[in-house]
Amino acid sequence: MYKKNGAVLVLSGPSGAGKSSLLKEIIEDIGECYFSISTTTRPIRGNEVDGIHYNFTTVEEFKKEIEADNFLEYATVHGNYYGTSLKPVREALNNGKLVLFDIDVQGNTAVNNRLGDITTSVFITPPTLSELKKRLEARSTDSQEVMTDRLKMAKREVQRISEYDYLVINDNLKVAADVLRQIAITARIKIPTDKINEFVQQWEDIEQ
């Protein structure tokens, strides 16, 4: 019953919180997964590869997909569109995989609205805003203007932590990874409402 259920694990948090690094630490330990790749209209960066890091597209094409209702969720971030295509998510869930999302707080709301009964959500953050600023500066991938925007957004996102099932403070990578690993393993055995109803009907196997 448990192994065949598809489930969703949402990871949110400020850019620079270490979500990708944490996933690398645990990915071999949490079973068969599908990492949902976002579609975006932002320019490709450095060593990024289309179809691996993101599905890069034009604003025109993105808007066509919105009109066709082909996104599980989408949002505008720093002037660019980001969205999650529904088709590969459905396929992964039907195959009993854990679908991993790296999305913002708006995306988390959208996913919960449509897949809430099989979704576990985690907010990941450094211990303080000043630590986040240090990490963004050390990364050196954004302009000063973009970095300022990211810090402002982070302050807004932190105010919505209560919307998540778990909070992981990424102060020590190994410790945070251990916590996230436990959460991911637990998420896999979350049972959707239709499966619960099915079990209840089967459970009443004798008449009184």
CATH code assigned at 17:
3.40.50.300
Q: Is residue 198, in this structure, part of any structural domain at all?
A: no
Chain segment 50-103, per-residue pLDDT in tens: 988 889 999 999 999 999 998 988 888 889 999 888 888 988 999 999 999 988
Check whether 1 has a pLDDT greater than 50: no
Check whether 28 has a pLDDT greater than 70: yes
Q: Is residue 76, in this structure, part of any structural domain at all?
A: yes
Burial of 87 (0-12, 13-18, 19+ CB in 10 A): exposed
Chain segment 141-160, per-residue pLDDT in tens: 778 888 899 999 999 999 99
CB under 8 Å to 171, separation ≥6 — which residues? 126, 127, 131
Instruction: Compute the chain's Rg from CA coordinates.
Output: 18
Q: Is the dihedral of CA 188, 103, 12, 173 positive or negative?
A: positive
Check whether 128 has a pLDDT greater than 50: yes
Q: Is residue 12, in this structure, part of any structural domain at all?
A: yes
Q: Is residue 208, in this structure, part of any structural domain at all?
A: no
Beta bridge partners of 55: 39
Q: Is-contact 89 35, C-beta < 8 A?
A: no
β-strand pairing of 39-40 with 33-35: unpaired
What would the mean pLDDT of 25-47 be, rounded to a whole number?
A: 92
Q: Give exposure, 145-181, as e/b (b: 16+ Cβ within 10 Å).
A: eebebbbebbeebbeeeeebbbebebeeeeebbebbb
Question: What is the C-alpha separation between 71 and 69, in angstroms, rounded?
Answer: 6
Report pLDDT for 207: 76
Chain segment 175-200, per-residue pLDDT in tens: 999 999 999 999 998 888 888 888 89
Question: What would you measure as the largest C-alpha separation in the chain, in angstroms?
Answer: 72
Q: Is residue 77, in this structure, part of any structural domain at all?
A: yes
Question: What is the C-alpha separation between 89 and 92, in angstroms, rounded?
Answer: 5
Report pLDDT for 3: 52
Q: Is-contact 98 107, C-beta < 8 A?
A: no
Residues in the chain: 208
Beta bridge partners of 100: 9, 35
Q: What is the mean pLDDT of the chain?
A: 91
What would the mean pLDDT of 128-138 be, rounded to a whole number?
A: 93
Q: Is residue 57, in this structure, part of any structural domain at all?
A: yes
Check whether 4 has a pLDDT greater than 80: no
Which of 104, 117, 107, 120 shows the shortest CA–CA distance to 30?
A: 120
Domain that holds residue 91: 7-192
Q: Is residue 39, in this structure, part of any structural domain at all?
A: yes
What would the mean pLDDT of 122-148 be, rounded to a whole number?
A: 91
Lowest mean pLDDT among 108-112, 138-142, 196-200: 138-142
Q: Reduced to 3 states, what is the DSSP secondary structure of residue 66?
A: helix
Q: How many domains does the chain have?
A: 1
Q: Is residue 201, in this structure, part of any structural domain at all?
A: no
Report pLDDT for 143: 85
Token output for 45: 């960066």
What would the mean pLDDT of 97-110 be, rounded to a whole number?
A: 91
